[in-house]
Chain A
């Protein structure tokens, strides 16, 4: 297909007709930084470091991630135990259902402990 002029047709030109919308992404969205997504929204003065929002205490961050993983694993186990408990109760095995409840209680204590562990990261 040929065009009458060297200019591509209007509909095939990339970008917008408005030049301000064709600026590079960092200029159009100054809120988006390479570090976006890492900062706690409650932090208003991030202090010195490689850049606002970057991790200042990597060990503390790792511990927070580990606590989160523990709690998620505990909740997965609780979902399984609830399934077993409902089945047991429906089959008339009430004792097994109460054992599952005990397991749930123990799991909750572990989750609560994992949450309670980091007084600065709750």
Chain B
């Protein structure tokens, strides 16, 4: 070997040139990552993430979102919390539907596209995710879950009201029962599962 005269110094040089992360280090790092994932999972289950519709049902009054809504027209509002962005759309058959406008993929704003699909659809321009306008279910793109719903009613005078919420992919009946259970604990409704839908 040439280039270095002192063998001990050469040995030190060679060892320092070796891989800085050994398998033992990697094992330790990945075990720590495993612990981190456990902590993250506990945080998720304990409710650290914001979820549309988490506001206590009893605290959220019905919200008048429009005096009148024409077919194909959409209106934006915040419900149930002031940071919960939502949209109501009146479809061609006069059904009024409401959804959170926060995409379930990466939280971009979802848009109403009347001329996409058969009845129009909700479209996220960030990664081209799309949602069914009748159910909120994912019809294309990367979103992992359907959009959370806002339960809408249209009164006789034509005004449109937001009256409740449903989580991603949750049925309207289940959501209504859940919120009824929160407002009036112990109430028994024949069409609801026991416990008010919880």
Contact = CB atoms under 8 A, between A and B. Distances in A.
Interface residues of A, number: 52
Given A31-B14, A90-B51, A98 B24 contact: no
Interface in B1-49: 1-4, 10-20, 22-24, 26-28, 30-31, 33-35, 37-38, 40-42, 44-45, 47, 49
A13 interface: no
B31 A115 contact: yes
B61 interface: no
Contacts of B174: 92
A89 B49 contact: yes
A108 B23 contact: no
A36 B27 contact: no
Interface in A81-111: 81-83, 85-87, 89-92, 94, 97-98, 100-101, 104-105, 107-108, 111
Interface residues of B, number: 46
B47 to A, nearest CB: 8
A83 B10 CA distance: 49
Given A30-B4, A41-B16, A104 B37 contact: yes
Interface of B: 1-4, 10-20, 22-24, 26-28, 30-31, 33-35, 37-38, 40-42, 44-45, 47, 49, 51, 104, 144-145, 167-170, 174-175, 178
Interface of A: 26-28, 30-33, 36-41, 43-44, 52-53, 64-65, 67-68, 71-72, 74-75, 78-79, 81-83, 85-87, 89-92, 94, 97-98, 100-101, 104-105, 107-108, 111-112, 114-115, 121-122
Given A27-B3, A30-B10, A31-B13, 10 more contacts: A36-B14, A68-B30, A71-B27, A71-B34, A82-B41, A91-B168, A92-B175, A101-B45, A104-B38, A111-B35
